[in-house]
Amino acid sequence: MKLLLVVCVLVCGARANVAPFLTACKASDSACLLASAKKAIPVVTAGIPALGVQPLDPMAIDKAGSREAGLELDMRDTTVKGLKNCDIPNFKRSGKKINLDVKCPNLQLTGDYTLGGKLLILPIEGKGKYKIKIRDILVKIMIETADVEKGGDVFWKVASWKFTSDVQTNVHFAFQNLFNGNQQASDTIHQFANTNWKEIYNEVGTPVTTAIVSRIVKAIEKMFEKVPVKEISLD
């Protein structure tokens, strides 16, 4: 009998702590919500195999691209580093809605690119390796949840999501082999791009930013699938 009791305690205790790095909070307790979100960052970015959450730092993105304003950009085999150093300055939950702000001081993207067309007003072409450094990007993610009942527990799922982003310091672009290795033309483009970084990033950065945010939301989805609402919310 005692053995059965011990086994029950161990099993029940394990089930009650699917995500021990999260703290259950009331929606009105903004301090609790923010503290729990901040505590989760290093755990989630490192990956949580038990919950099916893949590591976010480094992050691998197979493909991202843009076909806008006369510019064609393909980015392949991209590696994103720096998400583990991100912070959450704001986290709010109201009903089925979650508002999550993520601020990253330094993100570095490296990979292969193919580029052609016009970069704002200048003609551009190239194919090779690229590196983009982003300093102080603030991403505001808005998630709408829905309830799902499984095994007697209620879970959340991501019903929809959207985001906005703003780079607050700067973006530095480095594309190898522009204009077939013409150094003078390459220097001109890089000077233009890194002087007008905000306009350039707004034109070419959306696809890769969307891919990064999509992976963050996917990690949240995976946690929602395994962690009952009772371990997240006290409402």
* CA distance readout (Å), 94 to 30, 87, 103, 145, 216: 11, 21, 21, 10, 20
Considering the domain boundaries, does residue 157 fall inside one?
yes
The mean per-residue pLDDT over the stretch 76-102 comes to 97
Number of domains forming the structure of the chain: 1
Q: What per-residue confidence (pLDDT) applies to 80?
A: 98
Q: Is residue 15 part of a domain?
A: no
Q: What is each CA distance from 17 to 31, 52, 84, 208, 226, in whole angstroms?
A: 21, 16, 23, 35, 11
pLDDT for position 66 = 83
Mean pLDDT estimate for the chain? 91
The pLDDT score that the predictor gives to residue 17 is 67
pLDDT one-digit tens code per residue, 97-107: 999 999 999 99
Separation CA 100–CA 91 (nearest Å): 5
Mean pLDDT along residues 42-46: 95
Determine the structural domain holding residue 70 and report its residue range. Answer: 24-231
Residue 1 lies in a domain: no
Q: Is the pLDDT of residue 51 over 90?
A: yes
Indicate whether 68 pLDDT > 90. no
Query: Which pTM does this prediction carry?
Result: 0.88
Task: Report if residue 13 sits inside a domain.
Answer: no
- Looking at residue 63, its pLDDT comes to 94
Instruction: Residue 142: name the closest of 205, 222, 213, 46 by CA.
Output: 213
pLDDT at residue 208 tops 70: yes
Per-residue model confidence as pLDDT tens digits over 210-224:
999 999 999 999 999
**Looking at the domain assignment, is residue 183 inside a domain?**
yes
Averaged pLDDT for residues 195-207: 90
Does some domain include residue 45? yes
Is the pLDDT assigned to residue 156 strictly greater than 50? Answer: yes
